[in-house]
Amino acid sequence: MAQFTHLDDQNQPGMVDISTKSATQRTATAQAIVRVNESVAAAFQDGEIQSKKGPVFHTAVLGGTMAAKKTPDLIPLCHGLHLEDCDFEIQLDGQEIVITCTTVTTGKTGVEMEAMVGASQAALTIYDMCKSMDKGIVIQEVKLLKKTGGKSDFIAS
Amino acid sequence: MAQFTHLDDQNQPGMVDISTKSATQRTATAQAIVRVNESVAAAFQDGEIQSKKGPVFHTAVLGGTMAAKKTPDLIPLCHGLHLEDCDFEIQLDGQEIVITCTTVTTGKTGVEMEAMVGASQAALTIYDMCKSMDKGIVIQEVKLLKKTGGKSDFIAS
Amino acid sequence: MAQFTHLDDQNQPGMVDISTKSATQRTATAQAIVRVNESVAAAFQDGEIQSKKGPVFHTAVLGGTMAAKKTPDLIPLCHGLHLEDCDFEIQLDGQEIVITCTTVTTGKTGVEMEAMVGASQAALTIYDMCKSMDKGIVIQEVKLLKKTGGKSDFIAS
Amino acid sequence: MAQFTHLDDQNQPGMVDISTKSATQRTATAQAIVRVNESVAAAFQDGEIQSKKGPVFHTAVLGGTMAAKKTPDLIPLCHGLHLEDCDFEIQLDGQEIVITCTTVTTGKTGVEMEAMVGASQAALTIYDMCKSMDKGIVIQEVKLLKKTGGKSDFIAS
Amino acid sequence: MAQFTHLDDQNQPGMVDISTKSATQRTATAQAIVRVNESVAAAFQDGEIQSKKGPVFHTAVLGGTMAAKKTPDLIPLCHGLHLEDCDFEIQLDGQEIVITCTTVTTGKTGVEMEAMVGASQAALTIYDMCKSMDKGIVIQEVKLLKKTGGKSDFIAS
Amino acid sequence: MAQFTHLDDQNQPGMVDISTKSATQRTATAQAIVRVNESVAAAFQDGEIQSKKGPVFHTAVLGGTMAAKKTPDLIPLCHGLHLEDCDFEIQLDGQEIVITCTTVTTGKTGVEMEAMVGASQAALTIYDMCKSMDKGIVIQEVKLLKKTGGKSDFIAS
């Protein structure tokens, strides 16, 4: 039967005790999709060789990376850990900007939340930079694609 | 023609100058939807009077509120501001947890990003607390529902 | 009948809406007392002209000041504000180190929490610097001495 | 003779060098007591099954947990470390709210300050949520109850 | 006779009281120069149209902007304020990368420290990205070029 | 040929993958020099036994230490790590205040940036405390003096 790992038997929220777990390498990949209007999509494909995509996507990577490092400050019951890698891919596919964020650590707990926060905040950074052109932007499909290490691996179906 | 307000004429990213704007009251409402599996949805409707929904949704509200206050630390080119209100509603609708976050300030710039960050991070907090039961959770439809104040109002169609 | 201002009618926690309040000058003074053993008290009165009190109390003032500035990051439902002053007095009285912290702002909400956090964190900083000599140190009597501005003034009886 | 570990021979404050210590498991338990008036105590015992205690104490646990994670940002000369557990118990005993916070890490330095900061900030969070009903609330008896690991164990007498 | 505004008459450090000052517009411009070896300088002029300068200088602008916003968290006795603009110019001049950062606020205190922190941290960000190629990089001439607003204006001679 | 370790083959900035490196002890020493006018230099040599140097240099050490701990929040692509030591020396030499900061960790990545940030922020803290007496203060010669551990050692020529 389903149980909330962050609630004790009196339903009080709390951190999960990981002190007896062993430190192993763990990775996670998460995705976020930013759906923009035609005007914004066109602005990213403006024919200039130094494309607009450059600085906007760079800002998103940096916003996402810095937020991923801050995950334990953002998710109340998340453990602290040191990211050993935080890698972003951002592709423009028609009106969809597809962001993936892969995180790696060696430790007693997984890096799913770091990947999820990284992808979400990269998406929100793009939202911020495009919102004056399109207030109808939607961030959709923020989800975990894959994790390895820890009790079991996972690949999104 | 569409233009990026955060890029200068050499495509270098930077903050928008708001020093000559006037301070007015501004509000924004954003939404995020967390789609969970049947098992998690059932765990929120467990028949006990002190429902599991309580501590999980409380944690989400607090995670969202604290993240909304940190928006300028998270969105690289966002201005700092003081939130005068940050209000959450979280409803369980079948397998969808619908979060709305409304933010208010009096200042020279809008609070859309604060509402978007608040809703997203509340959603990610719920994700964190349910992920041991369902790694396939998807956060979908993070978007601005409404804004007032500043140059123009906006209501999502 | 007593009511929690941070709970809505469904007992969900949330920020208090201050958007319609007017900005006025507000001050608060809080106190914390650190009770140390004789050995630590003696170490602060070491007869050298450049007393040990100097660097320890300086560190406490700085730890307290920096924490007071971070109050909205620490108290989940606290509003952000800008401190216009944050003044500490620290006196050694026998085995009691008496800390007072006075905070000032001009804004829509009070600075009691900033003064309470400032005094507490200055006390904890002293604890940290003395704990190798005395693990039995107690921080006692953290309380508000006075506030002015807002709906009503307060002086501790 | 008593010596300040954070002062060098010229009385300049500084971090303690732990680079040659070995990493072991360390725990600490700290306590804070919040003394409230009868009206506030009654508000926590309001006869409703979904008690006011729920959201207020949940907020305190989350405020305390998030502050404990930030300890190296708050205590100027404290080392960074990763908490492997941070567990709270909060009991209402007449007009006293008794908070204990237990922290665990595996590392080169102890977690006393994390437990002390966690307990203090949980107490301050309760103060914040009750202060409109009782400005005379006092936080008393913030102290270390126990530590294990490192050079020597400690139990408060 | 010269006096330290952050020391009281007992030489205790503390924040300056600005509560009685009036809020006016204030600006500041600071500079930092990063001196790199020929190899690094050449890497910035690599003939590709999408130059290496792009992402490195973008990262520096973002690192500098985000640090400037955090100034009160970094400079112990600095007041909090909201930046209304934070503008960077970065020019490569032979082996010197010349960074200027201009900050603007409307408030009771100046923005010199924000400009100084912004320029310094942009310089350190470039250092970080080039240090594998040249460990002998020197950051030189971090200084205030200009300030306006407040008691008096200043232009560096 | 020179290569930017933080840029991928499409010139997108990103964190360096350190997951396959081994954890070893690493140290770094950086320097910053603050050049002040005669009036400020005299204020540090005021003949009183409890010199002004005390609280100003203490504040600089604490500002530098706390900033060094925050390095991964400040340098966008820097990895997180735990400082095991962070040691400052500050000497007044005529009109030059010479700051050195030595950092130590055991981990997969070096501590050069922590030492550079520590020295820079200590220098900026002194700047902040002296700027009312001398707006022409210049921070010069921020550079790495030495590093040990990792692929190769380095000593500044």
Who among E25, E54, E66 is closest to B76 (CB)? E66
DSSP type of residue B7 = B
User: How large is the average pLDDT for residues C116-131?
Assistant: 97
Who among C12, C13, C17 is closest to B85 (CB)? C17
* DSSP code per residue over chain A: ----TTB-TT--B-PPP-TTSPPEEEEEEEEEEEE--HHHHHHTT-S-SS-THHHHHHHHHHHHHHHHHTHHHHSTTPPP---SEEEEEEEEETTEEEEEEEEEEEESS--HHHHHHHHHHHHHHHHHHHTTT-TT-EEEEEEEEEEESSS--EE--
Question: How many beta-carbon pairs below 8 A join chains D and F?
Answer: 51
Residues of A with CB under 8 A from a CB of D: 11-19, 72-73, 76-77, 79-82, 107-108
In chain D, the number of structural domains is 1
Query: Among all chains, which residue has been given the structure tokens 């139990």?
Result: D155
Do B75 and A124 make contact, defined as CB atoms within 8 angstroms? yes
Q: Catalytic site residues of F?
A: 128
User: Are the C-beta atoms of F129 and E77 separated by less than 8 Å?
Assistant: yes
Q: Residue E113: what pLDDT?
A: 98
Q: Which helix (H) or strand (E) holds D79?
A: none
Q: Is residue F6 part of a domain?
A: no
Who among C49, C58, C66 is closest to F58 (CB)? C58
The pLDDT tens digits of the residues spanning F36-73 come to: 999 999 999 866 656 788 899 999 999 999 999 999 99
Q: Catalytic site residues of D?
A: 128
B17 in catalytic set: no
Q: Is residue F1 part of a domain?
A: no
CA E85 to chain B, closest CA, distance in angstroms equals 5
Q: Is residue A13 part of a domain?
A: no
Q: Residue F71: what pLDDT?
A: 98
Flag whether pLDDT at F151 surpasses 70: yes
| Residue from E59, E47, E113 nearest E88 by CA | E59
Do B76 and E86 make contact, defined as CB atoms within 8 angstroms? no
Q: Is residue F11 part of a domain?
A: no
Q: Residue C126: what pLDDT?
A: 97
CA D63 to chain B, closest CA, distance in angstroms equals 9
Do B63 and A55 make contact, defined as CB atoms within 8 angstroms? no
Q: Is residue A156 part of a domain?
A: no
Q: What phi and psi values does residue B47 have, to the nearest 5 degrees?
A: 80, -20
Do D67 and C74 make contact, defined as CB atoms within 8 angstroms? yes
Does the ipTM exceed 0.90? Answer: yes
Interface test with B, best of E85, E90, E97 (most B CBs within 10 A): E85
Residue E50: pLDDT band with limits 50, 70, 90 = low
User: Are the C-beta atoms of D56 and C70 separated by less than 8 Å?
Assistant: no
The pLDDT tens digits of the residues spanning C51-100 come to: 788 899 999 999 999 999 999 999 999 999 999 999 999 999 999 999 99
Flag whether pLDDT at D50 surpasses 60: no
What the block records as the tokens of E74 is: 């970094």
Q: Is residue A154 part of a domain?
A: no
Task: Spell out the residues 6+ positions from residue F15 whose beta carbon is closer than 8 angstroms to its own.
Answer: A65, A83, A85, A86, A87, F6, F77, F79
User: How large is the average pLDDT for residues D27-42?
Assistant: 96
User: Are the C-beta atoms of D145 and D156 separated by less than 8 Å?
Assistant: yes
Task: Spell out the residues 6+ positions from residue D100 whose beta carbon is closer than 8 angstroms to its own.
Answer: D29, D30, D31, D88, D89, D119, D145
Do C136 and D130 make contact, defined as CB atoms within 8 angstroms? no
Domain that holds residue E71: 37-150
Do D74 and C70 make contact, defined as CB atoms within 8 angstroms? yes
Q: Is residue E146 part of a domain?
A: yes
The pLDDT tens digits of the residues spanning C7-16 come to: 998 889 999 9
Q: Is residue F10 part of a domain?
A: no
Flag whether pLDDT at D47 surpasses 70: no
CA angle F19–F24–F29, rounded 5-degree value: 110
* Chain F residues close to C58, C-beta within 8 Å: 54-55, 58-59, 62
Q: Where are the alpha helices (DSSP H) in chain F?
A: 38-43, 53-69, 71-74, 112-130
Amino acid identity for residue C45 in this structure? Q
Query: What CATH number did the domain enclosing A61 receive?
Result: 3.30.70.640
